[in-house]
């Protein structure tokens, strides 16, 4: 739960500062990571042991940590200035 809560706090903060593109990219990439980890850990593909529901939990945990780390990295970049002058 810790990476999920930290992700939510960081996401809300970045959204308030206008870093919406980073949030969208991280959310999409996080879903892809979750699908791949589910494929590996639930069904035991590519040499991983099939773990079923436990594998699903580990996949979700891994994808949450990935999203937190990705937001920390992408959130440091400054968004383009699209303000009306």
Q: CB count, 10 Å around CB of 74?
A: 16
Number of structural domains, the chain?
Answer: 1
Residue 4 vs residue 26, higher pLDDT? 26
Q: Say if 41 falls within a structural domain.
A: yes
- In a domain? residue 51: yes
Q: By residue range, what is the domain housing residue 56?
A: 35-75
| pLDDT band (50, 70, 90) for residue 33 | very high
Q: Does residue 7 form part of some domain? A: no
Could you tell me if residue 69 is inside a domain? yes
Residue 15 lies in a domain: no
- Average predicted confidence (pLDDT) for the chain: 85
The DSSP symbol for 76 reads T
Would you say residue 29 has pLDDT above 90? Answer: yes
Tell me, yes or no, whether 61 lies in a domain: yes
- Give tens-digit pLDDT for 35-68: 999 999 999 999 999 999 999 999 999 999 999 8
pLDDT at 21: 83
Q: Is residue 64 included in any domain, yes or no?
A: yes
The pLDDT value recorded for residue 77 is: 67
pLDDT value of residue 85: 43
Residues 6+ apart with CB under 8 A from 7: 64, 67, 68, 71
71 is a domain residue: yes
DSSP for residue 70:
H
Q: What is the pLDDT of residue 79?
A: 56
């Amino acid at each position: 739960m810790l990476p999920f809560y930290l992700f939510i706090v960081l996401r809300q903060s970045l959204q308030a500062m206008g870093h919406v593109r980073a949030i969208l990219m991280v959310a999409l990439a996080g879903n892809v990571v979750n699908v791949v980890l589910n494929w590996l850990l639930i069904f035991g593909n590519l040499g991983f042991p099939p773990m079923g529901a436990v594998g699903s939990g580990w996949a979700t945990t891994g994808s949450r940590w990935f999203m937190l780390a990705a937001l920390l990295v992408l959130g440091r970049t400054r968004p383009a200035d699209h303000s009306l002058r």
